[in-house]
Structures are given as structure tokens and as C-alpha cells.
Structure 1
Amino acid sequence: MNLVQLIYASRPFGFDHSALDSILAQSRRCNTRDGLTGALICRGDIYLQLLEGEADAIDATYARILRDDRHLEINRLSYEVATKRLFPTWAMRSDPARSWMWSQEDVANGAATRASPDHVLGIFRRLAAEPAERPRLTIV
């Protein structure tokens, strides 16, 4: 298996809880089907997502995201071969943006697009080490 991790940032279009719930439900359904795992960090001004799985499945999923009108200004931040998954039991973990991440002003000033791939991966490594705020969904 050729395991890769993709990280992208986007600006939500019409962010509210029903839009987020729709994204999460679709992500969990499709990711379970495609053998993908990952996490979505979300706030009204940013989606920051890590997807991990086989390269072909990651590429197809990212192509769907690029066509999804719930995302604006999509920027691929990292695409790397990985040796193991950070979120092996999560079809899609959902968490709010943390206080130790970028402020809204930082995001408005381009922090996500200026961050190095190591920096954004570090955000997800830190998130993976924290307890989940919501029940996890295990993929089989």
C-alpha cells in the first residue's frame, strides 16, 4: 500500500452547523468506502483537513473537494508519503480550531498558505495526541 497524507486549507462558504454536519456525514460515508481516514479542523473562517490513505483514493477525494462549492480558496498545503496513519480509527475526526492554532487575524493574513508542510502536519500530530471531543467512528 502506498500510504499518503494530504493536507489542505479552504475557506468555508456559508459556514454553519448544518453545513458542517453535511460535510462530515458525506466525508465519513465516502472515506469509509474508500479506506481513508483523517481529521477536519473547522471554524467559521477555515477548514484545515488531513486525509490519509492510498494515493489513488486521496487524489479522487481531493478532486471532489475541488469541485465542492462549500469550499472557497482551496489550497493544498502538503502531500507526502507516510509510514503510518495519524487517525487510524477515524473515518473523519472533527474538531474546532484550537486556541494554539492561528487566530482569525492570522488566517485572514494567509497563515495557512504561508505555513510549511511540517508546521501543518505538526498541528495534526498535536490534535491526534489529544482526546477526542466527540465519539469516534471506526472504519472497518
Structure 2
Amino acid sequence: MPVYRIIYSSRPFGYDSNMLNGILMQARRANEHDDITGALICREDIFLQLLEGPEDKVKNTIARIRRDDRHIEVRMHVEKHVQERMFGKWAMLHDPVATWIWTPEEIDHDAPARASEAEVTGFFQRLRDQAKAD
């Protein structure tokens, strides 16, 4: 059955480990309730997140994220229906390292604004493949 997928990026405001742990706890609880799965790649300079599930629930989640003052400059990269979930086993897989996405210098030069759908989707395919190997 098709699901709705969104990939967005934002800049964190007030990033620290407590903030991240709070986001992950809230996301996992809400996502399990709403049948949403996904993954979060984050550093102090970027959140890059994939959400997938029922369209109305995913859209409600992104609307909540847009209102959350911990996210600045929310930018949508992918919004579409897909045939299967990329992260079906994870309410919210977290990649704490994220060293293979854009460098901090690339972020400063607004790489997310120039990113293609294939590029951001590729980051998550790599994360999924690494998680399966672990």
C-alpha cells in the first residue's frame, strides 16, 4: 500500500544533547501512535529528516515541525507517494554522526537549497543500508 514521504531540512536552534533527546523521544512516541516511520540525520548545523506514513499524519507532523521553534528555515526536498517504506522498522532511526552528508562549509553556503531529490534520498538510502548491516 502506498505511503506518503516527506524529506525536509532545517537549521537547529538551541541544539544540544538534551534538545536532541527531547526531539527523539517526542518523535518516537508520536510516530508510533500515527503509524509514521523515518529517520533523522542531525548535527548542530542541520536536521535532515525523512518521514513516511499516512498522508494526513505526515502532513500534520510537518506542520507541527514548522511551528516548533527548535527548527529554523524548514525546507522541503521531497513530498510524494511511494510504494513502500524505506524505514519500516523504525519509528525514528537516528544517525548521530552524519559525517557523510554536506560539510559544515557546504551548509554555510546553502547546499540544502541546491540539493536534488536524488541527493537527499541517497543520504537516507545509505543510512538505511548501514542500519541493515548493523
For the aligned pair, the TM-score class normalised by the smaller chain equals: over 0.9
Provide Cα deviations, 1:40-72, integer angstroms capped at 9, x if missing partner. Answer: 000000000000001111111011001001101
Contact kept in structure 2, 1:10 and 1:48, CA below 8 Å:
yes
Alignment of structure 1 residues 6-45 onto 2, 5 Å: 6-45=6-45
1:131 and 2:122 are equivalent in the alignment: no
Identify the residue that residue 87 of structure 1 maps to in structure 2.
87
Secondary structure of 2:57's partner? Answer: helix
Q: Which has the higher helix share?
A: 2
Contact kept in structure 2, 1:2 and 1:55, CA below 8 Å:
no
In structure 2, runs of 5+ residues without a counterpart are: none
The structural deviation recorded for 1:118 is 1.2
Aligned length: 133
For 1:118 and 1:23, locate their aligned partners in 2 and report how far apart those are by CA, in whole Å: 26
For 2:131 and 2:39, locate their aligned partners in 1 and report how far apart those are by CA, in whole Å: 13
1:103 and 2:114 are equivalent in the alignment: no
* TM-score where L is the length of structure 2: 0.94
> Amino acid of the residue matched to residue 3 of structure 1?
V
Identity value in percent: 47
* TM-score where L is the length of structure 1: 0.90
Identify the residue that residue 53 of structure 2 maps to in structure 1.
53
In structure 1, runs of 5+ residues without a counterpart are: 135-140
For 1:74 and 1:27, locate their aligned partners in 2 and report how far apart those are by CA, in whole Å: 17
Provide Cα deviations, 1:110-134, integer angstroms capped at 9, x if missing partner. Answer: 11121011110111001000037x9
Identify the residue that residue 76 of structure 2 maps to in structure 1.
76
Contact kept in structure 1, 2:43 and 2:98, CA below 8 Å:
no
The structural deviation recorded for 1:2 is 4.1
> Amino acid of the residue matched to residue 121 of structure 2?
L
The structural deviation recorded for 1:33 is 0.4
